[in-house]
Amino acid sequence: MNAAVTHPDGAPGPAARPRTHPYRQPFTWWLRRRGYVLYMIRELSALPIAVWWVLFLVEVARLRSGPSGYQPLEGWFVAVSVVCLAAALWHTYTFLSLAGLIMRIPLGEGNVPAKTIVRAAFGGFVVLTAVIAGLMIWGGA
Amino acid sequence: MAAPKTITLSVSRFDPERDEEPRLQSYDVPFHDDWVVLDALNWIKTHADGSVNYRWSCRMGICGSCGMNVNRQPKLGCSAFLRDYLPGPIVVEPLNNFPVLRDLIIDMDSFMEKLRWVKPWIIREETALSAGEHRQTPAQIEQFRQFSMCINCMLCYSACPVIPIEPSFVGPAAIALARRYDLDSRDRAGEERLRTITGNDAVWDCSFVGECSAVCPKDVDPAKAIQQTKFESTMGMLLPWGGTK
């Protein structure tokens, strides 16, 4: 008997389960469908956000010596931040687009339409972003 | 372009008593514009090689028996037209994520066990017949109708990349069916079934790839069922008025 074939019940007989060939997922499974590739991009877009937070914490740590000793990071930090912003916006877009699918909000005999939920989610995102940006600008001033 | 006279089907063959690995065997099949892959397999079985094994029954996308991979995509053999794969060859293989018993036939025991696990039937205390029927409004039926369209064809299991990593994951169709009964106004097992599908090996194993919904031949949306269950179980935990009905 070859190693690739399983035979859970051992010896053949009336009660023996048939031998089967197990499925093995190839390493390149995510290239098989466009949906898999988009899924991988969606999930990996969270990684630059994590990287950016590490860099941000480094910046905060460098502030310990006070404003006189602080040297802002070079232009590459700006470039990395732009990439991270793009990844964060893409991740946010994919997340909020799915809000209508995920949430079921009863309304009368039916539910709130999915499009309404998605629009409300994007609206909330814009308002919250504006509020946080306003607070940061106001705090900086 | 003139239609070809024949098209080649490369069919996966596996004989558990002889083969170490599945292999592809090619057959030239007459091309007809209105033939589907299942018609081509039936022609092979009748005219070329009677030893080819596959499941089929209704030939009209209702029974869910003829799920297979056609050019690496999960399809119902009775819904995949040869004309959509011109000039060929068409590679026909068993569904992914299941052990292969023989040729295109998969071992579906694990799926049947998972299906039973979520109790896909109406659970409620029996009432006397004299109490009358359990009436539902069209709006109440609309809450679960799409999830009741599942034909258990297992294409969603074949498209789910979580299953080979977490073989005990109960999977898309079973959760969609659980959701179907959770949303049924006649069912009274909400908490019991919800505990099952929000516990181990259930909705939280899903990483929301979403391809289960993309491949469904009946436009059921199992990904929606899974994500809604995640959301509502979370709300049920955080909010005193959270629930499924």
Per-residue confidence band for A81, with pLDDT thresholds at 50, 70 and 90: confident
Q: In chain A, what residues touch B231 (CB-CB under 8 Å)?
A: 102-104
Q: In chain B, what residues touch A33 (CB-CB under 8 Å)?
A: 73, 159, 211, 214
For the entire predicted model, the pTM comes to 0.84
Query: How far does B97 lie from chain A, in Å, by closest CA?
Result: 5
Q: What is the pLDDT of residues B170-204, one digit of tens each?
A: 999 999 999 999 999 999 886 788 888 888 898 99
Q: How many residues does chain B have?
A: 245
B33 pLDDT higher than 50: yes
Tell me whether residues A36 and B100 touch, CB distance under 8 A: no
Structure-derived torsion over alpha carbons of residues B222, B224, B228, B229, reported in degrees to the nearest 10: 10
A51 pLDDT higher than 80: yes
Question: Could you give phi then psi for residue B26, rounded to 5 degrees?
Answer: -95, 140
Most B CBs within 10 Å, among A104, A109, A111, to test the B interface: A104
Q: What pLDDT shows up at residue A114?
A: 84
Question: Could you give phi then psi for residue B23, rounded to 5 degrees?
Answer: -135, 160
Residue A14 or A118, more confident: A118
- Residue of A4, A25, A109 with shortest CB distance to B164: A25
Per-residue confidence band for A3, with pLDDT thresholds at 50, 70 and 90: very low
Residue B107 or A55, more confident: B107
- Residue of A29, A43, A101 with shortest CB distance to B227: A101
Within 8 A by CB and 6+ apart from B60, the residues are B78
Q: Give the integer Cα–Cα distance in Å for B180 and A118.
A: 24
Q: Give the integer Cα–Cα distance in Å for B73 and B71.
A: 6
Amino acid at B181: Y
Per-residue confidence band for B158, with pLDDT thresholds at 50, 70 and 90: very high
Q: In chain A, what residues touch B113 (CB-CB under 8 Å)?
A: none
Query: How far does A34 lie from chain B, in Å, by closest CA?
Result: 10
- Residue of A21, A30, A102 with shortest CB distance to B231: A102
Q: In chain A, what residues touch B145 (CB-CB under 8 Å)?
A: none
Query: How far does A70 lie from chain B, in Å, by closest CA?
Result: 42
Q: Which residues pair with A106 in a beta bridge?
A: A111
3-state secondary structure of B24: strand
A1 pLDDT higher than 50: no
Residue B106 in tokens: 């998969």
Q: What is the pLDDT of residues B41-94, one digit of tens each?
A: 999 999 999 999 999 999 999 999 999 999 999 999 999 999 999 998 999 999
